[in-house]
Amino acid sequence: MRTHKIAAIPGDGIGVEVVDASLEVLDVLASRDGSFALDVEHFDWGTDRYKKTGAFMPADGADQLRAFDAILFGAVGAPDVADHLTLWGLRLAICQPLDQYANVRPTRVLPGIRSPLRHVEGPELDWVIVRENSEGEYAGQGGRSHPGLPLEIATDVSIFTRAGVERIMRFAFRLAQSRPRKLLTVVTKSNAQRHGMVLWDQIAAEVARDFPDVTWDKMLVDAMTVRMTLKPGSLDTIVATNLHADILSDLAAALAGSIGVAPTANLNPERETPSMFEPIHGSAFDITGKGIANPVATFWTAAMMLDHLGEKPASERLMHAVETVTADPALHTPDLGGKATTRDVTDAMISAIRGRN
């Protein structure tokens, strides 16, 4: 029996609800499968801890996580704590030291879910967005001076390194190559941002020479929003910077039906450190405690985690259960226009898993 050590960081708000639901489902899946087990340790890191101690996680938090095979993360943030404190205090404080430089966001319209795009049928929207996750616009460089004066200045400096751009580009080309259409779109804003974004274009052309079987093209990020909306079927694998992909993937999640069904993996592709799996959505305090959070994003996230851990059949079984559940409108939570609760969806998942061999 293979045992995988999982660090669970449910965080805040609905993060706790959807991670609890996913661990319950994973538990049933593992006992049904019989060939692997998950040894789960919980970490109470998040906003409550910050309010009590001044830190979202212990100073050696990222190092503690190195002992695990994967991290399952919920969401972090609360209405009364500034978003940038939260982001830098926990998510980036994990992703950056563990060098999870490839953020991967699959997007497709699951069975039974309607895209807000009237012309879109399921298979027409099937993308993977690769987000550079270690530098770029979120490198944290810059500062402020002359507070309160008319000449007050605030700068955010984007950092693009050859090594950083090349490794994400290679990852994206490899991923595109592994998918049936072998199609990659490289997104930049190289007409206006004439240093870092031009470096992206150059490195894309260089790396492309090593992948002659991949068809690739370049898009400016503004035009990309139009193409995603009007010609979703023309896209497959997409690579973009930290900021651009952050925005595009929220658009992608909405076009696929709801942010409540969109998963993410923060990967260290070389597997030198554990990778972290989380839903795209945040802590959503407007619905916290109501029992109506859509757990599907986190179920899909958990399937990505199993795949990464080498448990492919279990991952496929989990996704099959997800698709069985989403196909039934009676099991849609309010974000999908339904009346189902987190509990209803979780119970249906468990039945779907138990029902299959």
Residues engaged in binding Mg ion (CB under 5 A): 282
| Cβ 173 to ligand ATP shortest distance, Å | 30
> Which listed residue (294, 301, 324, 346) binds ligand ATP by CB under 6 A?
294
> Which listed residue (335, 344, 349, 350) binds ligand ATP by CB under 6 A?
335
Contact 159, 139 (CB under 8 A): yes
> Which listed residue (77, 89, 232, 274) binds ligand ATP by CB under 6 A?
77
Tell whether residue 88 is a contact of ligand ATP (CB under 6 A). no
Tell whether residue 293 is a contact of ligand ATP (CB under 6 A). yes
> Given 39, 63, 222, 231, which residue is catalytic?
222
- Tell me if residue 246 is catalytic: yes
The region of 34-42, 221-229, 237-245, 281-289 touching ligand ATP under the rule CB under 6 A is: 281-289
Task: Choose among 239, 251, 259, 357: nearest CA to 300.
Answer: 259
Backbone angles phi, psi at 241, to 5 degrees: -70, 170
Our CB check for ligand ATP shows the closer of 77 and 196 to be: 77
> Given 69, 246, 335, 344, which residue is catalytic?
246
Contact 128, 107 (CB under 8 A): yes
Half-sphere exposure of 3 (CA within 13 A, CB side): 4
- Tell me if residue 182 is catalytic: no
Tell whether residue 91 is a contact of ligand ATP (CB under 6 A). no
Tell whether residue 283 is a contact of ligand ATP (CB under 6 A). yes
Task: Please state whether beta strands 70-75 and 183-188 pair in parallel, antiparallel, or not at all (unpaired).
Answer: unpaired
> Which listed residue (189, 281, 317, 332) binds ligand ATP by CB under 6 A?
281
Tell whether residue 287 is a contact of ligand ATP (CB under 6 A). yes
> Which listed residue (259, 302, 322, 352) binds ligand ATP by CB under 6 A?
259
**Alpha-carbon torsion, ordered 226, 229, 231, 236, to 10 deg:** 100
Tell whether residue 190 is a contact of ligand ATP (CB under 6 A). no
DSSP state of 91: I
- Tell me if residue 138 is catalytic: yes
- Residue 59: CB atoms within 10 A of its CB come to 8
Where are the alpha helices (H) located in 96-190, listed in sequence order? 162-178
Task: Choose among 242, 59, 58: nearest CA to 156.
Answer: 242
> Given 69, 101, 126, 138, which residue is catalytic?
138
Our CB check for Mg ion shows the closer of 257 and 282 to be: 282
Half-sphere exposure of 53 (CA within 13 A, CB side): 12
What's the CA gap between 243 and 137, in Å, rounded?
6
Tell whether residue 288 is a contact of ligand ATP (CB under 6 A). no
Tell whether residue 252 is a contact of ligand ATP (CB under 6 A). no
DSSP state of 327: T
- Residue 120: CB atoms within 10 A of its CB come to 18
DSSP state of 177: H
| Cβ 185 to ligand ATP shortest distance, Å | 25
Tokens matching residue 258: 């709801």
> Which listed residue (39, 48, 63, 83) binds ligand ATP by CB under 6 A?
83
Residues with a catalytic annotation lie at 138, 189, 222, 246, 250
Binding site for ligand ATP (CB under 6 A): 14, 75, 77, 83, 259-260, 281-287, 293-294, 297, 333, 335
